[in-house]
Amino acid sequence: MLGEMTNKGGHMPKKIGFVFLSILFLAQPTLSQDLWEVPRTVYGVPDLQGVWTSASITTLERDPALGNTLIVDAEQARQIEQNAALNVLTEADNAPSDPDRAPPTDGDTDTGYNAFWIDPGTRLAQIDGQFRTSWIVEPESGQIPYAQAAGMAFMEYGQSTGYDGPEQRPLGERCMVGFGSSGGPPMLPVLYNNNLQLVQSEDYVMILVEMNHDARIIRLNSEHLGDEFSPWLGDSVGHWDGDTLVVETVNFHPQQSFRFAIKHVLYMPPTAKVTERFTRTGPSEILYEFTVEDDAAYTQPWSAQIPFRTAEGSLYEYACHEGNYALPGILAGARREEREGSD
């Protein structure tokens, strides 16, 4: 057919040639995607190794104002992104630190991190080219389906928190694990440090999360430890289901039941089970999916999807100073407040 399109001199007419090359050029993304194959390790399983990021302004639970709308178009996505940018940073957040400023007073809202440290992402996440308004895909509402028992647990936790000792302070503040559920499972993006590194061997997968350098070692084709073992990040066992790594985690540490971060609040009791799925979907993306189950904490299992994208550069060491400096100050301040109150 190509021969029929050429002229007597054996050359393709310029107009036809331009059209042909244009069609070929437009087809390149499709052709390259079709030709892409899942990279594999020397022992034949998909290669998930590398440094990845989950940073995005998409949140675990959906803004209730969006109802059941999981997917929005590009114009709606840009509007949500612009609104998020306006709500996150203020003029004071961008100002340089003043080490000589007066101590904060009650109601002072300008006492957090400088904007320099904040890196939550600037765009809504995309999965299969569709903009997502929440990580949660089931239930349709995009909300965690808490049962009454969870509400009671939150109330009891709020009444028990205080400043009598370090054990009562949040784990992230004590530098035990990352804030929120960054180390997981499930692994959720937070305000900054949303990078992670995957390393594989034939019998193990290790996930190193930048936030608080939490490292989770997943045993492949193994059995769970006994109920007497409750690791900080739970007991994770994995296997390959075709080209998908499936990981089941149980026996979470009791002190990790309440996971608080600016971008999410999550209650997960020690009896919960998390099933994760890692699937390489492109040269620079892993689709991370998870389902959380607990008959007492939730009215039904709930599921979410998060895209992991190739991160730029290396994973840097994370140094947690809250436990070194902030915690003694918090406890000392509480003791002083008690002394002054007793005078």
**pLDDT on residue 107:** 60
Tell me if 167 is assigned to some domain. yes
Highest-scoring range by mean pLDDT, 20-34, 239-253, 319-333: 239-253
Q: How confident is the model at residue 136 (pLDDT cuts 50, 70, 90)?
A: very high
46: preceding bond cis by omega (within 30 degrees): no
pLDDT digit string, tens, across residues 68-118: 999 999 999 999 988 876 555 555 666 777 778 776 666 665 556 667 777
* CATH assignment at residue 284: 2.40.128.20
Pick from 2-6, 93-97, 276-280: least confident: 2-6
Residue type, 131: F
Q: Among candidates 264, 250, 230, 323, which has minimal Cα distance to 292?
A: 250
- Total domains present in the chain: 1
Does residue 174 lie within any of the structural domains?
yes
Residue 11 lies in a domain: no
- Tens of pLDDT, residue by residue over 195-207, are 999 999 999 999 9
Strands 244-250 and 273-282 turn out to be antiparallel
Q: Is the pTM of this model over 0.75?
A: yes
Best-predicted range by mean pLDDT among 45-49, 153-157, 168-172, 325-329?
A: 45-49
Q: How confident is the model at residue 25 (pLDDT cuts 50, 70, 90)?
A: very low
The stretch 57-76 carries a mean pLDDT of 95
In this prediction, residue 157 has a pLDDT band, given cuts at 50, 70 and 90, of confident
Confirm whether 140 is domain-assigned: no
Helix 14-26 vs helix 28-35: crossing angle, to nearest 10:
40
In this structure, the number of other CB atoms found within 10 A of the CB of residue 281 comes to 15
* 134 domain residue, yes or no: no
On whether residue 80 sits in a domain, the answer given is no
Asked if residue 192 belongs to a domain, the reply is: yes
Domain membership of residue 205 as a residue range: 50-55+145-328
In a domain, 100, yes or no: no
- Confidence (pLDDT) at 117: 73
Name the band, by pLDDT with cuts 50, 70 and 90, for residue 34: low
Residue tagged 């999410």 (tokens): 264
Backbone angle region of 168, left / alpha / beta, with phi > 0 → left and psi within -120 to 50 → alpha: alpha
Mean pLDDT of the chain: 84
